[in-house]
Structure 1
Amino acid sequence: MTFLPVIDTAPLVLTMIALASYLLGSVPFGLVITRLLGLGDLRAIGSGNIGATNVLRTGNKAAAAATLLLDAGKGAIAVLIARTIAGEDAAQLAGFAAFLGHLYPIWLGFKGGKGVATFLGTLLALAWPIGLLCCATWLVTVALTRISSASALVASASAALWCWIIGPQSLIILALALTALVWLRHASNIKRLLAGNEPRVGK
């Protein structure tokens, strides 16, 4: 039993894939879309986050949906391209690098989003049953709590558990690493959740 994929891709190839995936993940689609639509600087709206939840605060649902799909897509595309070029080890590295790019984009002074959409897109490409289960976990949690951040925290925390239950178990270490970063980026949300003043969806 191994919680990591077999690493058999050449180090130089892995390095190039990681760099390209990071740059892809660094594209701030929420910021680009809101500027193109004349919705202002997303970083000066709501929480200042560049993700779909904050785009929704502009009142433009289409822009929020596009941001969600593109942020998820950049993680998925990085994984699929890397898997085609090299293999599963490269695919996992690409997903992680794209996720880091979204969280810490070089174009924005390494101040990026919280990574939920990219997290889900990456998992859907790596192992679609795990990705779907995490999406379902998010939907159930948001239906019960009406709190987006709580749903993100629960969904991300469930990823390693789903990998353990249904496999592939070679995805567990990556799932734990992604989850740790999601929770780290939600530190302020966790404080508000504990204080009981985290805003609910639609408020």
Structure 2
Amino acid sequence: MNLLFFILSYLIGNFTAAYILGKVLLNKDIRKMGSGNAGATNALRSFGPVIGVTTLLMDLLKGVLALYLADKFGDQYSVYYAAVGVILGHNWPVFFGFKGGKGIATSAGVLIYLDIRIFAIVIAIFIITVAISRYVSLGSVLAAASAPICAYILAFKTKPYTFYVILLLAIIAIYKHRTNIVRLLNKTENKIKFKEK
């Protein structure tokens, strides 16, 4: 049963908003623009704030949706399978040549459903970091690194699997940002700019 929720969530994750919105509204392929990443940050840079923010919200909501369906129709462990499935589907979507996003917005949706307290702390770290540095990648990496720490403190005693899944998702997120980390260290990473395209 849980394998079915994993597969369903993977398919939900395959709904690549940045690609779909870019093709439908502008007839452009996000994977051939900017960083080539099919996520909200590249959508913001390449298509402007309207599509960028819409992508962010849609990516976040699919994380919530995947866990909601697993929670409603599965058992106590189904949400964890769904959490991993939806992130893998977003990051490596089979229907889009395994070229997806980096999973930050979708991970945020997962955190909202798993534990809103962890989400609140992590999103605060992300917002403060980006506001000060203007590096979305730095905010994403620090948020990802802080998530399992928060999960261990707040949830490990009562929901150990929440910690284990969040730790796994954090590792995936940081791995997906490995080239950004190199550019940050080399001081060649691009800062976020808010311009209408």
Q: Report sequence identity in percent.
A: 33
Residue of structure 2 aligned with 1:123, choices 107, 111, 115: 111
Q: Which residue of 2 aligns with 1:146?
A: 134
Q: Which residue of 2 aligns with 1:43?
A: 31
Where does 1:65-84 land on structure 2 (aligned, <5 Å)? 65-84=53-72
Q: Could you report, residue by residue, the CA deviation over 1:90-130 in whole angstroms, capped at 9, with x for unpaired residues?
A: 01110110000001100112121111101111111111111
The code of the aligned residue for 1:103 comes to N
The code of the aligned residue for 1:177 comes to L
The code of the aligned residue for 1:184 comes to Y
Aligned mates of 1:183, 1:32 — CA distance in 2 = 25
Cα pair 1:31 1:41 within 8 Å, conserved: yes
Question: Does 2:185 align with 1:194?
Answer: yes
Q: Which residue of 1 aligns with 2:163?
A: 172
How many pairs are equivalent? 191
Unpaired runs of at least 5, structure 1: 1-12
TM (norm. structure 2) is 0.92
Q: Which residue of 1 aligns with 2:146?
A: 158
Larger mean CA deviation between 163-172 and 50-59 belongs to 163-172
TM (norm. structure 1) is 0.90
Unpaired runs of at least 5, structure 2: none
Q: Which residue of 1 aligns with 2:176?
A: 185
Aligned mates of 2:48, 2:181 — CA distance in 1 = 27
Where does 1:95-114 land on structure 2 (aligned, <5 Å)? 95-114=83-102
**Superposed structure 1 runs of 4+ greater than 6 Å apart:** none
Aligned mates of 1:87, 1:68 — CA distance in 2 = 29
